[in-house]
Amino acid sequence: MSAGRGDDIATAIAGVVASDRLLIALDFDGTLAPLEDEPMDARMLPAAREAVDAAVSAPGTSVALVSGRSLSDLRIIAEHLDDSPLLLAGSHGAEFWIPGEGVVTHDDDPADAALRDALRAHAEEATASLEGVWIEPKRFGFGVHTRRAAAADAAEANRLVDALVSAEAPHWRRRTGHNIVEYAFRHEGKDSAVAELRVRTDASAVLFAGDDVTDEDALESLGESDLGVHVGTRPTAATLSVPDIAAMADLLAVIAAERSAARQ
């Protein structure tokens, strides 16, 4: 369902508005913050931050940011402080920040980290001559950014690194996004991140919103009492689509206001 008439949106959100315990889980880049050529420049639009703050303050509502970014980078771009009430899931759900607990992660095998470092170095060497290509270090792997590269160089970078990973780490998970291909030795996805956050918050319903291909895992995992929202216009498993970040902020603000009004 694409966002249109007010009654269409009201129908789509009615279930999550009325839920006893709601988890609002949100992708960051492209959902709350515009995509940037320099990834660490990304910040929430003011309207999105205001809507997130309103949702956090609504009764019976938990809010989480769910991102492919490493947890440390996500905290920087989200301007997330130690006393923040926001939950975070970084690295597609391989590491978390839980209010009152701090960082929560799962044990890693040192051999995986050693392979990560070696393979990342090989990827940097292989793509060094391709202008505009950047290899982003990630805790559980690395990403190949091609937003600033010419189309031919981007294709060549992806071909070279695909071949490297296939040869040296064929068991790694590969994900594609907006001008990025990510490789990781951990296989968690945003679906598993949402599942873990659902349990941690004792949520009776989940709203998940995202804009990218990597968000579809979470959108496809949602149940009948949940709501999936896609930001953009491409085909999606989401129940509801909104055109842009501003519209997503408006939707969050409406849900927060209605949950607050219903519990006064």
Residue spans of the domains in the chain: they are: 6-106+189-262, 110-184
Chain segment 2-59, per-residue pLDDT in tens: 665 566 788 889 999 999 999 999 999 999 999 998 889 999 999 999 999 999 999 9
| CA separation, residue 146 to residues 38, 100, 102, 210 (Å) | 11, 38, 33, 21
User: What backbone phi and psi angles, to 5 degrees, belong to 29?
Assistant: -70, 125
pLDDT of residue 129: 97
The helix/strand/coil state of 135 is strand
- Domain 110-184: which topology? Alpha-Beta Plaits (3.30.70)
Hey, what are 111's tokens? Answer: 């051999």
The 8-class DSSP code of residue 244 comes to S
Question: Would you say domain 6-106+189-262 falls under CATH 3.30.2270.10?
Answer: no
Chain segment 158-178, per-residue pLDDT in tens: 999 999 999 999 999 999 988
Q: What confidence category does residue 105 fall into, taking pLDDT thresholds of 50, 70 and 90?
A: confident
Amino acid at 13: I
Site of tokens 């995992």:
221
Compute the distance between CA of residue 77 and CA of residue 43 in angstroms, rounded to an integer. Answer: 6
Average pLDDT over residues 219-226: 96
Site of tokens 């060094």:
128
Compute CA 237 distance to the chain's CA centroid, rounded to the nearest angstrom.
16
Decide: 178 and 109 in contact? Cβ < 8 Å.
no
pLDDT of residue 10: 87
pLDDT of residue 103: 94
Decide: 236 and 219 in contact? Cβ < 8 Å.
yes
Compute the distance between CA of residue 126 and CA of residue 205 in angstroms, rounded to an integer. Answer: 46
Q: What is the pTM of this model?
A: 0.81
Averaged pLDDT of the chain: 94
Point out the least confidently predicted range of 47-51, 77-81, 92-96, 208-212: 92-96
